[in-house]
Amino acid sequence: MTPRQLISEAGDLLSLPDVCIRINQLADDPTSSALDMGQVISQDAGLSVRLLKIVNSAFYGFPGRIDTISRAITIIGTKELRDLAMLTAACSVFTGIPRNLINMETFWHSSLTCGVLARNLARSCQVLHPERLFLMGVLHDVGRLLLLQQLPVQSRDVLLISKGRDDLISSAEREVFGFSHTELGYELANEWGLPTPIRSAMRWHHSPEQADQDELECYLIYLANRLADALMWDNDLALVKDQITPNTWQITGLSHEQCDLAIAEISSEIRELYAILMDQPQPTSRQDQSI
How do residues 181-232 score in pLDDT, each as one tens digit?
A: 999 999 999 999 888 999 999 999 999 999 999 999 999 999 999 999 999 8
**285 has pLDDT over 90:** no
pLDDT of the residue at 282: 47
How many Cβ atoms from other residues are within 10 Å of residue 2's Cβ?
Answer: 13
Per-residue pLDDT reduced to its tens digit, 66-80 = 999 989 988 998 888
Mean pLDDT in residue range 107-125: 94
> CB atoms < 10 A from the CB of 142, how many?
23
CATH topology of domain 96-291: Hypothetical protein af1432 (1.10.3210)
Residue 154 has a CB neighbour count (10 Å cut-off) of 14
Average predicted confidence (pLDDT) for the chain: 90
Q: Amino acid identity, residue 203?
A: R
Residue 104 neighbours by CB under 8 Å, 6+ apart: 94, 97
Domain spans of the chain, in order of start: 16-92, 96-291
Question: What does pTM read for this prediction?
Answer: 0.90
DSSP state of 210: G
pLDDT recorded at residue 281? 53
d(CA 197, CA 17): 22
Q: pLDDT tier at 280 (50, 70, 90 boundaries)?
A: low
Q: Residue 149: exposed, middle, or buried by beta-carbon count in 10 A (0-12, 13-18, 19+)?
A: buried
Residue among 46, 81, 91, 45 at smallest CA distance from 278: 91
Question: Residue 81 in contact with residue 72, Cβ under 8 Å?
Answer: yes
CA 129 – CA 82 distance, rounded (Å): 14
208 in Cβ contact with 136 (< 8 Å)? no
From 24, 32, 66, 27, select the one nearest 49 (Cα to Cα).
Answer: 66
The residue type found at 26 is L
> Are 69 and 48 within 8 A, CB to CB?
yes
Q: Could you read off the pLDDT of 142-167 as tens digits, one per residue?
A: 999 999 999 999 999 999 999 878 77
